[in-house]
Structure 1
């Protein structure tokens, strides 16, 4: 069960109150002399470092403040300094040193007649005694803090003291007294509008109802606590209430709901870095797995929880987790480990006077000894369990009622409903106690029967021992026969030894053969690896040579393009000079510009259709100087020319082939159509071949296009000649 006032929360809330609540103005007014500036500065600096969580610097300035206060004889600031020192030791988990510092602070507050400071110190002392399990001393300190705060009418601190008293009585198993104090704290917090404190009180009351097995009431209280924590954005209070609500669902066997609550609480505790709540969540998840017989999962959760509790020295959490671990090991038949954990938990529970945990430890120990056959020890532990349960459920109840009368003397009318509820609960408890006593008596009778049977078994064992001794005396007469049999056995063993030596020799030979075989196998593997590696290198070398050859061929084909274009253009210029010298002059100028473009494009592997078109348009303009309107060009391209490509000058060579090998005149004009078809660029002209073969043709134009497509690994171009047309289809690539 996760206590609503977790140690860390109580510690920081109380200490922050201790640091900030002291009213220096009132103190200065109460003194007859002016406080030195050095003391005021030291006090201010110490408080600054505390709020910045720089504990070492805070401790240093607390000691500086103490030295200055002693030097100038200011009891109030001596009390403050000792309080700061105690706070530091408390944060560092050095409880005894913290107590010593707080008692010094209490002495100086008494000298300074500062009741407010005394109340704070008594509250801090109560926190320390609560944490180390000294519950009687914790109650005394909290009662003194409560009395002072009631006299000063500090309602917030009255509620805090009552809440702390309720937690101490809960740990002592006196649930009804605890309930009274928590109800009082709840009324004050509701009256003053302390929503955060109200949520804590609802959660504490829910815990007590859970202990009394009033699960539906407990669930309502925890749900109220969660709602309030969400309203005021109190994540820690929300984590605590979620964990407690998960325990209610666990008790009602609603395991899915319980797991959801535990995991939400664990997530919040991990976010807030609260190891105590973290450990409690892990332990509860382990219990959930345990109830569903998932022992390996439960074991992992318990071990993680144990590490967390031991890190912060939370002995109550360590004790409960040890009990749960022993249960797991018991169910998995690891009885020695279970016994070790159960004994450890019993020692811690006795030391801290944790009555519920003492009962659980006794139960587990009794069952373990019983299962191991230690019936007498199990019987003794069962008697201890019965007597301890009587003291908890009977004697404690009587003491509770006496204390209830004293505590509640002045509030009978206000809490009459609560007393009626308590009386009903007492009747239920007495019935449950009677039933428990009957079951325990039955167990006691069974244990007595087992003890009697064990004693009878021991007597039978002694009789069997006597009979065996007589049999040994009778066998003494057969020693000679046995000695002969031993000689025979010795010879047989000698034969077996010789046989085993021969077997060992054969095994050594076989091992040698196996070792040799393994060595040969390794050599074969290494040789194979070397062969494959060499083969791979050879293949890569061949691939490099092949690639270099392809590149060389491609360079050769590119170098063919420029001379081919130059030769054809010069032939055209020569014929034009004879026909029209002015046109020849214009042709020569544009040809020189066009040839520069040829030189730029020829070194590229591929060019965009856009660049190729620019060049071809310049080329066709040059040809139209020569042929005029006798050469007609139609374009039908819809594709984005910048997005597709082809080998450089491929389109130009196709156009040049059409011009070179066909008649072009006014009577027989040449029609060239350029269009796109199925991702191919198509150049189509009407077929009107020249009557005579072209004398200067090198026949390399169309062949060059084919070779370059082949070397680039592209789809091959198509050259189709019909009776009326000649068509060239050039594949385009993206």
Structure 2
């Protein structure tokens, strides 16, 4: 099993949380033409309050969060001095949204609850409905989805009761975002589309409402794009994010533009356009930094690190991951800190720097346990098991896998349970403990059949066949290979299909049935060429060469071995273990032909590589 990675999912969640927060202050009563109830005061004080409030709102919309916070605090002080309770509630509402975007959720909830209490005391149902939405968005950003849904549903009911169309549309799109965050994409998109339709209608009304509706529409379009990304419907995601980006850029809505660029960066990455993805994300980062939204900033840094990791540029990946980690620590985001620590460990893991990988995995594991995140805890336990398996420290590997297995069973995660059982089987396979390996593989196979996971079922049947082949029980091996082959052909899993054809060819080769072996190897070679898989081609060419060698057809054997060697020596695919195996095989052919000097030449080349490597040689998949 490959090592777990969580980069895209996590980043999308944060984007959703940010979008939730962005909407909140725009629907405050002051934006809906509802004049604050002003106590007896001087014109200068009232004018100052109004100007400060307008400035705070403008700063927020432009994404100038530190300035908006200061302005809201000033206007709050004035409204309190004036005894203007409605104005106080409005200022608290605006301040709460700023705190949320600055990742100060505790402060956000504190001031929003104060606003709600004032509005309920004043009998301000419209204000109450709007503030409930704001509070719901904070809980959504904290991933407390049940409470967020409860509050947003209350808010929707109140806004419907008072006939507040903007509030209704706003509540619907927030509900849609929460459902999407929970993986309920159809339900989420339905709510989002309902909300968008209402906002579009409101946008046809007088100027003030039309301007406000554009903000809502831009944010909702981002949300819809996000939902389509999560459901892997990328064409639709592009359509909506382009609209969102255009609206946000035209209106100078910097955070909305930053989010749109982050979503575009994700989409470019899914298309394999990694350089374009980095370019787009770096533009989003440049736009986001001045806003003061550290959470969105670190999230974009995390995404950029993920692309560099995917490109194999590990030092660059670590640079961006470490920047993301520093901000997460600054914000006190322990859950997110654990995720990035696990991801940094993955980078070291990919570079075979296992000591560093283990250190970061252990740091991540400690945090996952502290915040009681059992899903991430099990992920890191599996990753630790993988590292110890690669280091051939099999007892430690099994210990970590068993801990992960216990969590998956407790949580009822059947698919993940099957994956860990497969990994444990693999460890026993490496230890040549075939009975135990088969036991765990079969437990995993039962689960994959139960959940109708055809791809993993095919892989497990292949693995069981390989155990029997290594055990020398070729009839059983062939039976499982054929079962696996039936599935891989049905689901068009060409890579596993190719591997199975190679493995079946090996069985026939071990039986001395060389013509049948050649037939399967040729089928495997055809698939590798179709896939343009150079290393797969080299593997099968080597296998075909071994058949001709066994048949005493040394010229043909040398021809295929040399072709395999040429690919393995290519700078784009250079693999010293495979090159050494090729040299050794060619040496054996010359030896068999009595050309001892040539044989020694190739044996020496192979030995030179072997002395630098501790890897076990072998080219059969």
TM-score by length of 2: 0.52
Alignment of 1:620-635 (within 5 A): none
Contact 2:535 2:573 in 1 (8 A): no
In 2, the alpha carbon distance for the partners of 1:120 and 1:136 equals: 18
Match of 2:400 among 217, 221, 229: 221
Match for residue 84 of structure 1?
A: 263
Q: Which has the higher contact order (CA 8 A, sep 6+)?
A: 2
**By how many angstroms is 1:146 displaced?**
1.5
Alignment of 1:145-544 (within 5 A): 145-262=324-441, 264-265=443-444, 281=460, 284-285=463-464, 287-293=466-472, 294=474, 307=495, 332=547, 335=557, 340=563, 344=567, 347=570, 351=572, 358-373=575-590, 375=599, 376-387=601-612, 389=613
**By how many angstroms is 1:197 displaced?**
1.1
In 2, the alpha carbon distance for the partners of 1:250 and 1:5 equals: 21
Match for residue 301 of structure 2?
A: 122
In 1, the alpha carbon distance for the partners of 2:280 and 2:11 equals: 14
Q: Which has the higher strand share?
A: 1
CA deviations on 1:566-617 (whole Å, 9 max, x unpaired) are xxxxxxxxxxxxxxxxxxxxxxxxxxxxxxxxxxxxxxxxxxxxxxxxxxxx
**By how many angstroms is 1:12 displaced?**
4.7
Contact 1:134 1:352 in 2 (8 A): no
Contact 1:46 1:62 in 2 (8 A): yes
In 2, the alpha carbon distance for the partners of 1:369 and 1:88 equals: 47
In 2, the alpha carbon distance for the partners of 1:128 and 1:279 equals: 30
**By how many angstroms is 1:226 displaced?**
1.2
- Taking only aligned residues, the RMSD between alpha carbons, in angstroms, comes to 4.1
In 2, the alpha carbon distance for the partners of 1:320 and 1:232 equals: 40
Match for residue 12 of structure 2?
A: 16
Match for residue 32 of structure 1?
A: 59
235 and 182 in structure 1: CA distance in 2 versus 1, 3 angstrom threshold: same
**By how many angstroms is 1:266 displaced?**
5.9
251 and 198 in structure 1: CA distance in 2 versus 1, 3 angstrom threshold: same
**By how many angstroms is 1:292 displaced?**
3.0
Match of 1:61 among 225, 240, 253: 240
Larger Rg: 1 or 2? Answer: 1
Contact 2:365 2:380 in 1 (8 A): yes
Tell me the secondary structure at the aligned position of residue 377 of structure 2: helix
66 and 223 in structure 1: CA distance in 2 versus 1, 3 angstrom threshold: same
**By how many angstroms is 1:256 displaced?**
3.7
CA deviations on 1:251-281 (whole Å, 9 max, x unpaired) are 1212243234345546766887989967865
Match for residue 4 of structure 1?
A: 3
Contact 1:62 1:81 in 2 (8 A): yes
12 and 33 in structure 1: CA distance in 2 versus 1, 3 angstrom threshold: closer
153 and 210 in structure 1: CA distance in 2 versus 1, 3 angstrom threshold: same
**By how many angstroms is 1:60 displaced?**
0.6
In 1, the alpha carbon distance for the partners of 2:567 and 2:466 equals: 19
CA deviations on 1:26-85 (whole Å, 9 max, x unpaired) are 686686254623323323333343455432222111011111111111221111111112
Contact 2:262 2:300 in 1 (8 A): yes
Contact 2:538 2:563 in 1 (8 A): no
Contact 1:285 1:298 in 2 (8 A): yes
Contact 2:382 2:420 in 1 (8 A): yes
**By how many angstroms is 1:323 displaced?**
7.9
Contact 1:69 1:75 in 2 (8 A): yes
139 and 364 in structure 1: CA distance in 2 versus 1, 3 angstrom threshold: farther
Contact 1:279 1:306 in 2 (8 A): no
CA deviations on 1:537-591 (whole Å, 9 max, x unpaired) are xxxxxxxxxxxxxxxxxxxxxxxxxxxxxxxxxxxxxxxxxxxxxxxxxxxxxxx
20 and 38 in structure 1: CA distance in 2 versus 1, 3 angstrom threshold: closer
186 and 149 in structure 1: CA distance in 2 versus 1, 3 angstrom threshold: same
224 and 146 in structure 1: CA distance in 2 versus 1, 3 angstrom threshold: same
